[in-house]
Amino acid sequence: MRKKTKFIHGGISRDPYTGAVSTPIYQVSTYKQDGVGNFKYEYSRTGNPTRESLEKLIADIENGSRGFAFGSGMAAITAVMHLFSAGDHIIATDDVYGGTFRVMTKVLNRFHLDVTFVDTSDLQAIKNAIKPNTKAIYIETPTNPLLKITDIKAVSQVVKEKELKLIVDNTFSTPYWQNPLDLGANIVLHSATKYLGGHSDVVAGLVVVNNDQLGEDLHFIQNSTGGVLGPQDSWLLIRGIKTLGVRMEEIEKNTLEVVQFLQHHPKVEKIYFPGLSDHFGHDIHRSQADGFGGMISFTVENQEKALSVLNKVKYFTLAESLGAVESLISIPSLMTHASIPRDRRLELGIEDGLIRISVGIEDIEDLLEDLENALKDE
Ligand SMILES: Cc1ncc(COP(=O)(O)O)c(C=O)c1O
């Protein structure tokens, strides 16, 4: 099956119990047993047919063997971190999503999981950070909001040599553009709240592995810690994934036009977008992904100007999150990255006048008119 076909026919595409073409919502907590221990499903934390259908689907589309659905991206990340033990060390991308940074430095540290943050686009920096107790490398590529690129294949080589695990947060690229397991990653995860759901109506997280033992270990953790996705939200995600391909193609088209517009706009200073040939890591991204995605960050003169743009836009909705059919806009210094001290934020390149947009699938003429009006001085 090719990708778009897989989004529709992958996993369990027809309900095995009724033949229903769309997986039904099995809104159930427990199941009748035909004698003690004789059952297909026992209890919905352990297994639910709607969630299972989604889990098989995400495993298929990420070219893995087993998938797991959680109540949020953060629940998925936390479950993956439970694969490790007190005293283990993990190396992570220095500008990971703020919530990931928070759980690693304010929650998991209390259980003595030690994380070092490095610029993972620099292979030598990763190698230098490896300690005898290092167990995994955790990366995002592209990152948020500067869209920095890490070479998945090169890092997977280091991981193999040192017998570590490579974990990739593939939220920004989605399985439509990038399949980290094919490039040597061991675990792929998603905030499915973003492109996979795609309609700003569900909060969810997904994990995929391609190794039986890891699959068993993660199922044990999922069932033990219990942060599972409910059947209604599982169904919404199955529905969202069916149109992932067409949405990503439309988003790509719109995004390239928005980038071109910004490149020629006198009020725009820097643009961060992996599709630009002078973007750091452009060639690496092209070698590991089939598309550039819908995220663009750009700078204007200062925070005041950025706020004025945010106040004037009509179709770009001022909101956290990304990856929806509707275009969204935000100011990282005051929103997603506000908790990072200003000096550290500037060190990372997240300037006060940085604006991040997530391009949706509205008519491109409306989006460009909207930005043109918002960038005007008066
Ligand atoms: C790259 C990335 N990973 C993980 C998360 C966390 O996902 P959730 O908000 O679904 O818990 C986010 C949320 O913005 C994200 O952008």
Pairing of strands 317-318, 295-299: unpaired
Please provide residue 330's backbone torsions phi and psi, each rounded to the nearest 5 degrees.
Answer: -155, 165
Specify whether the backbone of 141 is left (phi greater than 0), alpha (psi in -120 to 50) or beta.
beta
Ligand 1 atom at minimum distance from 336 CA: 14
Residue 91 and residue 281: Cα distance in Å, rounded? 20
pTM value is 0.97
Q: How many other CB atoms are there within 10 angstroms of residue 316's CB atom?
A: 25
Which residues lie with the beta carbon below 6 Å from any ligand 1 atom?
Answer: 72-74, 97, 99-100, 140, 144, 169, 171, 191, 193, 203, 205
Q: Is 250 helix (H, G, I), strand (E, B) or coil?
A: helix
What's residue 95's pLDDT?
86
Q: Are residues 84 and 113 in contact, defined by beta-carbon separation less than 8 angstroms?
A: yes
What is d(CA 232, CA 229) in angstroms, rounded to the nearest whole number? 8
Q: Say how far apart CA 47 and CA 286 lie, in whole Å.
A: 38
**Sheet with strand 205-209: strands edge to edge:** 66-70, 205-209, 187-191, 165-169, 134-140, 89-93, 114-118
What does the pLDDT read at residue 350? 93
- The pLDDT value recorded for residue 338 is 84
**Predicted local confidence at residue 47, as pLDDT:** 98
Q: For atom 7 of ligand 1, which residue has the closest CA?
A: 73
Say what the pLDDT of residue 276 is. Answer: 98
Using most ligand atoms within 8 A of CB, pick from 103, 169, 194, 295 the residue to mutate for ligand 1.
Answer: 194
How many whole angstroms from 191 Cα to the centroid of ligand 1? 5
> What does the alpha-carbon distance between residue 115 and residue 157 come to, in Å, rounded to a whole number?
20
* Ligand 1 probe mutation, 103, 191, 196, 207, most atoms within 8 A of CB: 191
Position 324, amino acid: A
Which residues are marked as active site?
Answer: 45, 97, 169, 194
Single out the residue of 189, 195, 149, 154 nearest to residue 169, CA to CA: 189
Tell me, what's the pLDDT at 13?
82
* Interval between CA 76 and ligand 1 midpoint (Å): 10
Nearest residue CA, atom 10 of ligand 1?
Answer: 73
Relative orientation angle of helices 244-263 and 231-242, to the nearest 10 degrees: 60
User: What 3-state DSSP class applies to 123?
Assistant: helix
Confidence (pLDDT) at 348: 87
- DSSP alpha helices (H): ranges in 171-295? 174-177, 212-225, 231-242, 244-263, 282-288
Structural domains in the chain, sorted by start: 3-242 (3.40.640.10), 245-375 (3.90.1150.10)
Which residues make Cβ contacts (< 8 Å) with residue 299, sequence separation at least 6? 268, 269, 270, 351, 353, 354, 355
Q: Supply φ then ψ for residue 43, to 5 degrees.
A: -160, 135
**How many angstroms separate the CA atoms of 116 and 347, rounded?**
17
pLDDT by 10-residue block (mean), the chain, 378 residues: 94 90 96 95 97 98 98 98 98 92 95 97 97 98 96 98 96 98 98 98 98 98 98 98 98 98 98 97 98 98 97 96 97 88 89 97 98 94
What pLDDT is stored for residue 217 in this prediction?
98
What is the rounded end-to-end Cα distance, in angstroms, of the chain?
Answer: 53
- Nearest-Å Rg of the Cα atoms of the chain is 21
Gap between the Cα atoms of 216 and 317, Å rounded: 41
Are 58 and 187 in contact, with CB atoms under 8 Å apart? no
The reply to whether omega before 175 is within 30° of 0 (cis) is: no
C-alpha torsion 84→90→96→100, nearest 10: 30
Task: Please answer whether residues 113 and 90 qualify as being in contact, where contact means their C-beta atoms are separated by less than 8 angstroms.
Answer: yes
Cα 35 to Cα 33: distance, rounded to the nearest angstrom: 5
